[in-house]
Structure formats: structure tokens, C-alpha cells
Amino acid sequence: MSSPSLSVLKLKDKLTKQYGEKSVMFASEIPQYEVVSSGSLALDYAIGIGGIPTNRAIEIGGEPGTGKTTLALHIVNNFLNAYPERAAVILDIENRLTADWVAAFVKDSERVIILKPDSMEKATDMYVDFVKTGEVSVVVVDSIGGAPTERVINKSAEIGDVGGNAAAVSRFARFAQTLSGKYDCATIGINQVRADMSGYNRYTTPGGKAWIHAVSLRIELKKGKDKVYDGTGDDKVQVGNTVVARIHKNSLAAPYRTTSYWFYHVPSKYGFGIDQREELSRLSMLTGVVEQRAQGSYYHPSFPEGKIRGKDNVMKFLDENAEAFEAVRRDVIASLSGGGVDGVAQTFDGDNLDDNPADGMLPQITLTDAREGDQ
């Protein structure tokens, strides 16, 4: 490969001084994205690159109660772990976050800055100011369609100011697409699903075409048919369910992949958020990282004397032993990175919202007899 001539180097230096650092570069200097886990190894696998890209805008959409914000908090925690010198920002447009909710999933919550803009225009201005510092690794916007415009606030437009909202979101989308890459900051836009008025039964979210164009990844979350219960008799309540995740747009790998995981939407004896214990146990066996041999024994170097008897005891041991959990997790990630693992993710029809091959794919866990099929 030949080196650039002196005149080309001088031109690059001149333009860099004129337009600023990170605005001018050679093709060989284009930043390569890193990935950070979403909090679900199955979802990381379905995405196709091993997790959330660090310098792109993405969407997490879905109906209420599917854990969109909680998934975003899992992601924030993992970004803070990956970039210990940088902060995270959450634009809490819907005013739903609580300190306890954030602390339940983000270990270093003091590095999370919460912003509460009262309009989409102010949300965009805040976003630009924080990202341009270079001190932020991830920004969550909750939600893209949740903020009114300045026109609505000033009562110069009706509440249903659809055109004005689309224009405000389009402005944010242009900044998100550009600044995410320039400042190596992931932008996560949470969105609600709305009815497809075209009659084609397609995945549709607020924000218009500009937002869809800006994001590199669109993840839809749906409630699965299997549910989790706690308590007995009149005190029996649903505490969670399976969640089906579907990748509708993917600029970095193949789209239209789907997977599922157990999710607890309130704190319970089974956990809170994504059931990472159950998922790791299940994936370790699907990948062969934990090997099942005769008489129900399971083998891995991190287990006591190399083996544990009974699938439930494997899950219990991983839950109680952090070092073993991390050892098995590293091996599972390495195995999944090679691809070709059956039973983790499937392909779905992107033009048909009713095509849910991942719904019902998770096995029932005997450890939790409160897990039942849809009643």
C-alpha cells in the first residue's frame, strides 16, 4: 500500500484545521465500531455482531410492558463497564425513571446523567451539547415520540401536531446519525409501536422516515406467550414473561433475526429484568460449553470437581458463584462468535408481524414451577 503524497498530507492537515478533528480522515482511518453486550447473549447473537455497536444510533421499539427501558438500562450498565472514564446520559422525556429503577441495573449509577427536556427541540440541543464533549459513551432517549414540540408547548399548534413532531424528530435524527459516529457514542432511541395504517401489518414506530434512515439497528420487543407467576391462591400475581426480540433493520449484519429470553418486570424471587442466569445455563448447554453426559451430569472446568448433577443445580451454582458464571459466560461468548449454533435465534418474515418463530422456543424450567404457559 502506497503512502499519501506530501501534497495530500498538507491538504488533509489544512482541512483538519479548518473543519476540526474527526471531520477529515483517510479511508483507512475510518473508526471501526466496537460492540457492547445488550445484556442478553441470545439477543447479541441475533444481532449478528455480538452486541450493540458503540458508534451508531439504534432503536428499541415495542408495545408497553416489554422491558424497553430496562433493556436500555442493561446496555447503559455494560457501556459504563466498558468505558470507565466516560459517562452515560438518559433523556427522560416521559418522566418515568426512578433512582431505584436505575440503580437496580446500573452498578455505577453516579455516572449516569439524567436530563428532563420539555420539548423535542430542547432534547436535541441537550443531546448535541453532551455528545460533543466526547465524555459520553451512550445516550438513551426515552422516548422518541414522547416529547411535544415547542409549538405545542407555546399553544401555537394543536396537540396532534404530527408534521411538527416529525420535523423535530428529523432534526434529532440527523444529529444522532452524525454525532454517534464522530464522537464514538451509541445513541439508543426508545420508541412505541403504533398501528400500521397501510394495512400491511408491518412494524411501525413514530419518528418518520428520517429516524428510520438514521438508525443502524431496529429492535422490536414483543410479549411472549409464556408467563412467570409468584405467590399462591389470591396472592398469585404475574411477575414476568418471555420477551421476543426481532431485528427489523440491521446495517451491520443480516436483518430479520429473532430470539427470546425470560424477563421479570418487577423484582421477585426469580430476579428482575433479563434472566441472565437462566439464559447462560441454557446457552451453555446449546453451545456444548457445558457438556451433558450420562445420568444427568453436566461438566465444565469451573464446576466443583468438574461436574454438577442436575440442570437446576447448574443454574443454582452459576447464580451463586460469580467466578464460575464469568468463566462459563466467556466460553459461551467465544462459542457463539463462531456462529452456527442451533436453537438460539431464527429467521422471521419482516413483512408479517404475526410471524413469531421465537415465541415459545424457550424450555420451561423445572426450578421455577411458577412458570406456566399462557392461561
What's the confidence (pLDDT) of residue 112? 98
* pLDDT at residue 158 in the model: 55
Q: Which uninterrupted H or E stretch holds 53?
A: strand 52-53
Highest CATH level, class, for 33-228+241-265: alpha beta
Name 192's bridge partners: 62
Tell me, what DSSP letter sits at residue 310? S
Q: Tell me the pLDDT of the chain (375 aa) as tens digits.
A: 678 888 888 898 998 899 887 788 888 888 788 999 999 999 999 999 999 999 999 999 999 999 999 999 999 999 999 999 999 999 999 999 999 999 999 999 999 999 999 999 999 999 999 999 999 999 999 999 888 888 888 876 555 555 567 889 999 999 999 999 999 999 999 999 876 666 666 788 888 899 999 999 999 999 999 999 988 899 999 999 999 999 999 999 999 999 999 999 999 888 999 999 999 999 999 999 999 987 889 999 999 999 999 988 999 999 999 999 999 999 999 999 999 999 999 999 887 778 888 887 786 544 443 444 443
In the chain, which residues fall in CATH 3.30.250? 275-341+362-375
pLDDT reported for residue 20: 83
C-alpha cell belonging to residue 143: 422516548
* H or E element that contains 43: helix 41-47
Are the CB atoms for 297 and 308 separated by under 8 Å?
A: yes
**Peptide bond connecting 143 to the previous residue in cis, omega within 30 degrees of 0:** yes
Beta strand pairing status for 57-62 and 217-230?
parallel
Position 373 scores a pLDDT of: 43
DSSP 360: T
Instruction: Report the distance separating Cα 69 and Cα 131, nearest Å.
Output: 20
The 10 Å CB-count burial string (b at 16+, else e) for 55-81 is bbbbbbbbeeebbbbbbbbbbbbbbbe
- pTM score, two decimals? 0.91
pLDDT of residue 354: 80
CATH classification of 275-341+362-375, choosing from 3.40.630, 3.30.250, 1.10.3470, 3.30.1120? 3.30.250
How many helices and strands in the chain, by DSSP H and E? 11, 16
Query: CATH 3.40.50.300 spans which residues of the chain?
Result: 33-228+241-265
Query: Of 230, 261, 273, nearest to 44 (Cα)?
Result: 261
Coil/strand/helix, residue 372: strand
